[in-house]
Amino acid sequence: MNSPRICCIGAGYVGGPTMAMIAKQCPEISVHVVDLNQARIDRWNSNDLPVYEPGLDEVVQEARGRNLTFSTNVREAIHESDIIFIAVNTPTKSFGVGAGRAANLEFIEKCARTIAECSSGHKVVVEKSTLPVRTAEAVKRILESSGNGATFDVLSNPEFLAEGTAVQDLLHPDRILIGGESASAVEKLAAVYARWIPRDRILTTNLWSSELSKLTANAFLAQRVSSINAISALCEATGADVDEVAKAIGTDSRIGPKFLKASVGFGGSCFQKDILNLVYLCEHFGLREVAEYWEQVVKMNDYQKRRFSTRMVRTMFNTVSDKRIAVLGFAFKKDTNDTRESAAIHVCRDLLEERAKIAIYDPRVPESQIREELRLSFADAMGRISDHHAKLIETNVTVHASLYEATEKSHAVAVLTEWDEFRNFDAGRVLQSMFRPAFVFDGRNIVDRKQLTEAGFEVHSIGRATSH
């Protein structure tokens, strides 16, 4: 069988790593990743990749220049490819019908129109982005309306990689899901993955099942986090320890141990967006109770983030005004530079509203990105921010190059991302430069409570009684 030529539209956290892995595993397949964003493409072509993922540099270096190309030549790439992946962003709509819930499909639609214009012969178009159910139908209609004689098969092939573990997830996925009506198109794509993934892990379904499975998987995962976070509130009230509870229930093989880590709240580009999408879909079909059930997962997450910042303020004698708070971690989880929907944004915004001075350190997130996220957290639907909030960010936020620099002369330390380097810092060194009582608010339950308490810190963890 001839090797297909592949292109991917969208060089983000999904498109970039996924295509790099296909290129690495299939040296005979040419893979062309395209994006409208020149700066992003330039970084994919440099030694400073726009996506931080352990092991990704090696994967890209192996394939780039051999059978992996990054460019902004969207039209050319489409024209030359047999299989076209769509991996553009699908943010939640911020305006109009379905605002705050439905997915904004503007980028998908533009992509489909460009594909229609630049295609001839037969193309297999693959949805990689997470999309509302039945988007494939809309994509197919746009593709077929071009009238230039090209024919298309549309497949849904959602990506289940988690950021921070993308390379391992792509190498050894639990499953590959391919939804589609045309058996030959499904096989064409399945044959690509089958070069390194066992056939029994490649599941095929109809289009709608595939699209809905992705939303459902993310909704179930997020629900587990919200469930354990709900219990964490009860633990704090009763004296139970949420990590002990998680361990005890996780040994039940029907429940399983993963995704039971109580935290300051889940973030990332998928969970909230996908659940809100599901909620919108349920409402659209008149399933009010189902919509309310899933919406509660997001409400619980909002509650958890707010509960954390409120607890900080209450503990610090009901005022953090003018107090310096070291914020350790800004990414939504460890081992990524992604900050989309990070719990840290919400906690920092709440603390800024309380007039705290926040000193932020994250090993992978640049200062400009932190400031932009904080700016957006205060912005209205049009992206505008008041002078008051702009000034607050300017004067009350500092970004630092190390944990020790951020914690210096602080009143409290808040651990918001579970980066490994926050597990075991030099407690004596940090303590001697801090005001007393020296508070630690551990939003990830990763610090050594016993050691820190003995050293003289007052440690507040999620779902545990306070240690003095």
Least CB distance to ligand ADP at residue 90 (A): 7
Interface residues for ligand UDX in 304-333 (CB under 6 A)? 332-333
Which of 188, 261, 323, 464 touches ligand UDX (CB under 6 A)?
Answer: 261
Go through 261-273 and write b for each residue having 16 or more CB atoms within 10 A of its CB, e for each that does not: bbbbbbbbbbbbb
Which of the choices ligand ADP, ligand UDX, none does residue 111 contact, using the CB cut-off of 5 to 8 A by kind?
ligand ADP
**What's the CA dihedral at 15, 16, 19, 20 to 10 degrees?**
-170
Interaction of residue 249 with ligand UDX, rule CB under 6 A: no
Does position 303 interact with ligand UDX (CB under 6 A)? The reply is no
3-state secondary structure of 298: helix
Greatest CA separation for the chain: 74
Within residues 143-202, the interface with ligand UDX by CB under 6 A covers 159-163
221 counts as binding ligand UDX under rule CB under 6 A? yes
CA gap 348, 369 in Å, rounded:
14
Cβ-based nearer residue to ligand ADP, 7 or 231: 7
26 touches, from ligand UDX, ligand ADP, none (C-beta below 5 to 8 Å by class):
none
Is residue 266 involved in binding ligand UDX (CB under 6 A)?
A: yes
The residue count for binding ligand UDX (CB under 6 A) is 19
Q: Which of 7, 118, 270, 348 is catalytic?
A: 270
C-alpha dist (Å) from residue 425 to 31, 195, 200, 257, 452:
43, 44, 45, 27, 10
Q: Are 29 and 22 in contact (CB under 8 A)?
A: yes
Q: Is 425 in the site for ligand UDX (CB under 6 A)?
A: no
DSSP string, 2-22: PPPPEEEE--STTHHHHHHHH
CB of 458 to ligand UDX, least distance (A): 24
Residue written as tokens 């940090």?
Answer: 430
Pull the structure tokens for residue 140.
């197919």
Kindly list the residues in this chain that would bind ligand ADP in the complex (CB under 6 A): 9-15, 35-37, 40, 74, 87-89, 107, 110-111, 129, 269
Task: Indicate the burial class of 436 (C-beta count within 10 angstroms; 0-12, 13-18, 19 or more).
Answer: exposed
**Active-site residue, 270 included:** yes
162 contact, one of ligand ADP, ligand UDX, none, CB 5-8 Å limit per kind: ligand UDX
**Rounded CA Rg of the chain:** 24
Binding ligand UDX (rule: CB under 6 A), the pick from 180, 268, 363, 463 is 268
233 binds ligand UDX (CB under 6 A): no
Sign, Cα dihedral of 243, 247, 340, 90: negative
The residue among 174 and 200 lying less far from ligand UDX, judged by its C-beta, is: 174
C-beta of 448: minimal distance to ligand UDX in Å? 19
The one of ligand ADP, ligand UDX, none whose footprint includes residue 9, by CB under 5 to 8 A per kind, is ligand ADP
Q: Are 328 and 414 in contact (CB under 8 A)?
A: yes
Q: Which residues bind ligand UDX (CB under 6 A)?
A: 159-163, 218, 221, 225, 259-261, 263, 266-268, 270-271, 332-333
Active-site residue numbers? 270
